Amino acid sequence: MRIYLLPLSTRRTLLYAHRVHIPTTDTNQNIADKIVGFAAKKWAEYEKKESGWQRKLVDYGNHAFRRIPYEEWGLKSIPPLSKRRRAEELGGQDDVELVFPGATIPAHRAQSILKTLATERESLHRKRLMLSFVAMPFTAPVAILPVIPNIPFFYLAYRAWSHWRAISGGKHVQWLLENKLIKDKPSETLDHLYIKDGPTISDSLDVKEQILLTQRQVRNFSDTLNIPELEVELERAIWQVEQALQKGEEAAKVHVPSPSEKSKDDGKEKDVPEVGEKEKKE
Short-list 233, 126, 182, 127, CA closest to 1: 182
pTM of the entire structure?
Answer: 0.78
24 three-state secondary structure? coil
- pLDDT in single tens digits along all 282 residues of the chain: 999 999 999 999 999 999 876 555 545 556 666 666 666 666 566 666 677 766 777 777 777 888 999 999 999 999 999 899 999 888 888 889 999 999 899 999 999 999 999 999 999 999 999 999 999 888 878 767 666 677 888 889 989 999 999 999 999 999 999 999 999 999 999 999 887 555 666 655 567 888 999 899 999 999 999 999 999 999 999 999 999 998 888 887 776 565 555 555 555 555 545 545 544 454
Q: What is the pLDDT of residue 280?
A: 47
